[in-house]
Amino acid sequence: MNEIESISSRVQNFKTAESVGVQRFTALWGFSEAALGGVLHALKIPFTGAFLGSAAIIFIFLIAKYSKEKNTILRSTLIVILVKAFVSPYSPLTAYFAVALQGLTGYLFYSAIKYERLAALLHGIVSLLFSALQKLFILTLLFGTEFWKSIDIFTDFVLSQIPVLKGSLSVRFSLILIGFYTALHLIAGIYVGIKAAKISDWIKEKKNIFDKSVLDTEISEDLFAGKKRVKKKWWKKRSGLLLIFFFAAMLLISFFDPELGKNKVYEILIMILRSVAITIIWFSVISPFAVKKFRRFLEKNNFRHASEVNDITSLFPDFRTIINYCWRGSKNLRGINRFKIFFADSFTYLLFWEEKR
């Protein structure tokens, strides 16, 4: 038996009480949450949260459509959380909370709304809006509303250095930044919600023309090899360096600009101390308690669903082979076209490659 046949055999042995389609969608959702983020990071694709959220919306729609009972969504959500904890044990609690919310809102929408297209659209909008607002909420919680005021002050100072604009223009750049980030996720939510509702037709079309024989296991570039994300301290990340630069610049501007006065220096120092205090409280008090409770929850459910989690994670090497094959297959394309073909081909092979032999 060659390697492709061996892989196909393992995939076909993946059986649980639910239909094979739901099993596959759950496995792919678990792979997306546990490993796809690393691939997106390796490919230097921005807004990985929006991509992962979009993938979750599609898989939840497929689970809802092909399952007999809508509470299957909740069961699949639990299994995905267990898979994520098994493969990526150091993921932050907010990541598990996001998965849980995606599954819960999906269950509520698909249970309450019989019209699938509307349910998919609302689920896409709510899920991706939450993803955006969650990050904005954390920033506001850490630094307070003074953080957004400081961005406006910094922007006005930069504009005032341009002679033509000096004293004639004041920009609420914080609102522009928040609006752009939120609008980007809103548009993505609408787009993926509409696409998710049409995915069934797309699957039928792709299944009819799918040719498994072109898939081989020869890999010239492994997207996973040496691409494991190293846990960096916050000040070593780009966002951390940007924050340090911003605070340093604001302190200098506030100290030397007579219009702002030295009171602004103290406000910025208080803002920094506030973020440090909240961070210390979170990591020394709240997080250990929450993590302890969460681990108990995982241990309890891991025992119940151990076989399903093992079945899903055993497919990950095969999924990795497919992802690498599709990336290599798109090497002659450039830019957005390559990513478009790469994602479409990856999704097709991940769904159907064991269908035809």
pLDDT band, very low/low/confident/very high, at 119 (cuts 50, 70, 90): very high
Helix, coil or strand: residue 89: coil
Is the separation of the CB atoms in 125 and 190 below 8 Å? yes
How many of the other CB atoms lie within 10 Å of CB of 247?
18
Name the residue with higher pLDDT: 138 or 100: 100
Q: Say whether pLDDT at 90 is over 50.
A: yes
Is the separation of the CB atoms in 327 and 319 below 8 Å? no
DSSP state of 262: T
| pLDDT value at residue 191 | 93
Distance CA 100, CA 213 (A): 38
Selection from 8-12, 63-67, 228-232, 343-347 with the highest mean pLDDT: 63-67
pLDDT band, very low/low/confident/very high, at 29 (cuts 50, 70, 90): very high
pLDDT band, very low/low/confident/very high, at 317 (cuts 50, 70, 90): confident
Side-chain-side CA neighbours of 171 within 13 Å: the count stands at 14
Mean pLDDT on 82-105: 87
Q: 240 phi and psi, to 5 degrees?
A: -65, -45
First to last CA, the chain: 13
Selection from 108-117, 285-294, 329-338 with the highest mean pLDDT: 108-117
| pLDDT value at residue 92 | 81
| pLDDT value at residue 9 | 45
Q: How far is CA 166 from the centre of its chain?
A: 41
Is the separation of the CB atoms in 170 and 156 below 8 Å? yes
Mean pLDDT on 189-212: 78
How many of the other CB atoms lie within 10 Å of CB of 19?
14
Selection from 13-17, 34-38, 129-133, 235-239 with the highest mean pLDDT: 129-133
Q: Say whether pLDDT at 335 is over 90.
A: no
How many of the other CB atoms lie within 10 Å of CB of 283?
10
Q: Say whether pLDDT at 62 is over 60.
A: yes
Mean pLDDT lowest for which of 80-84, 168-172, 215-219, 331-335? 215-219
- Per-domain boundaries in the chain: 13-143+173-197+288-314
User: What percent of the chain has a predicted confidence (pLDDT) above 70?
Assistant: 77
Name the residue with higher pLDDT: 123 or 165: 123
Structure tokens at 238: 């780009």
| pLDDT value at residue 107 | 95
Q: Say whether pLDDT at 229 is over 70.
A: no
Q: Say whether pLDDT at 357 is over 50.
A: no
pLDDT band, very low/low/confident/very high, at 2 (cuts 50, 70, 90): very low
Is the separation of the CB atoms in 105 and 125 below 8 Å? no
| pLDDT value at residue 100 | 93
Q: Say whether pLDDT at 21 is over 60.
A: yes
Q: Does the global pTM surpass 0.85?
A: no
pLDDT digits (tens, 9 = 90+) for 245-287: 777 777 777 766 666 655 667 777 888 888 888 878 877 888 7
